[in-house]
Structure 1
Amino acid sequence: MLRPISVFRSAVVLIVITAFNVSDSYSQDRLKDNVGVVFKQIYDYRLLSADSSISVFETERPNHPVWSLLRANLVWWQILSGGIEDDKLKKKFIYYLNESKDKAKNFLEDEDEAAFSLIIVNAFRTRFDLLDNNYLTAATYLNACIDDISDSFGREEEYEPFYLTSGLYYYFMQKAHEDYPIMRPYLFFFPDGDKQKGIDFLLKCSSSDDIFLREESTYFLMRIAFDLDKDPKQALGYVGSLLTRYPDNIIFRLFEIKALHSLNQEKEINFSEKSYRASVSGNPELTVSQKEYFFKLLEDEKKAPK
């Protein structure tokens, strides 16, 4: 069963890169559109469809690093779907991250894009190693990730994705300083955090036209509200926004159930649980074992103390 990861540990962890500049505007727009299609399929929990789309789209620009990052992202969602003990999935995840990093070095010329690409790869690797209990390796990648994020400060207006990475950094760095005194000597060597500035940056991203920035910032705002601010009502607003766009996303629906559970809203819980079961049962792209895993997550949540 997937072991929970603290929000702080995953604070600077993102999922995958948003968009890259290419040589001409037509190619750039087409690339962004194709990437958007894949993201929507992933958020709709149509993982097999997303995999097929990547295979089709990457033929146009096979050496572009975004496709390897998207494949790593796809494998990550498979890991979250009950594959934490699957060594083949773990190896695929590392392979695609390394492949993306190699391609980025040979493809990306823009300084901001290159920096953001490295942040994504290092953040992804940090999250994976924390999940796999490889804490020393995770610390190495986390340090590299923080270095790249701090180097990007002040360039948010020039490159929108930096609002997401900077926002997460500012919020969680101050939060860590407040809640973990033992870490303060270590945090002394990094730029100061600012929770309100971090929230403002994330809110800005949550209204972005970019699908990845919008959904990931909304997701982190939900986690901050629920896990750290202990405000399930506010968290419910954020997850409701996500579910309006992706009603069949099982992970989002589970967080709605968690928030409703905390608020003792029994009528709404029953409706949400029915929607959850329908999304799991009615998804033709989930395996039997994945469906069993998600049903068990629901049963565990129902047994959890309020």
Structure 2
Amino acid sequence: MSKPRIAFVTGGYSGEAEISYKSAVTISANIDRDKYEAYTIDVRTDGWWYTDPAGVVHAVDKNDFSVAGIHFDAVLIGIHGTPGEDGKLQGYFDMLGLPYTSCDAATSALTFNKRFTVAVAGMGGIHVARSVLLVKDLFESPETQIKGLRFPVFVKPNNGGSSIATSKVLTPSEELGTAIEKAFGVDSQVLVEEFIEGRELTVGVFRREGEVVTLPITEIRSKNAFFDFEAKYLGASEEITPAEVPETMAEKTRAAARKVYGLLNCRGIVRIDFIYNEQVNEPFLLEVNTVPGQSEASIVPQQVKAAGWSLKEFYSFLIDEALATGR
């Protein structure tokens, strides 16, 4: 009996491609080759490419997502940023009737927009920080727009991840304008969000046999002002998995994560980030990552191992779920 053919897509069109390639090393090493025929597809701005074992490079036929006459049974999505995390590839695969391992196009597009994410979650009863969205060329001055916010604030691109071009601004000053300009350098929308004091907790969430379940929680203790790119990927943070927190704090965070997963109609493995404010004893949603990092420095692989799974078992579970649901 032939093995399912799985396309593992990596790369991408944004600065997060660098992180996609780091994740690709871990994912490629842990795809069960005894169960699947796996083909790595490199999605780049100059084309979509597959390099065969002989080193020959083949272009992907985008009419049906085939390569060298090979058609696929499912897609394992490993692209951070556009077009793999913002719904574009998901919509394309939906049109082809090809199942994949991430959230659907609508949820991916929604969660890629930080402002939309917290708005929907807030309407659903999840605690979120107050924020203001600045759209390029559609506001007079940032000071006027954000006058209702309390400092410190975070300034970040509204679409994107990996904390690229994100700044913490302590007071209304020249630093605010610099931070906004920096964020506008990578996105046409900028989110200015109040700082929430507390412990940073993040949790992987997925659905198993119809039940939404959580992986062990990780607490992040950044050596920098916040969990920025350096802290995430260059070792400037301490990550404790499972988090050493009171059980009441852990259960409130797990419950909020399960609720967010359901509210946003998530699918596959999603990592949800919170700040737990101990004054009000509640978790505040930061963001939802629908294609969470899988590099050696990433959190979900730590949580998978803490839960007693091997990465090979976990990736097989995600692929099998996509194959079984056919979507």
Normalising by structure 2, report the TM-score: 0.26
Pick 1 or 2: higher relative contact order, CA cutoff 8 A, min separation 6.
2
Higher strand share: 2
Q: Which has the larger radius of gyration?
A: 2
Higher helix share: 1
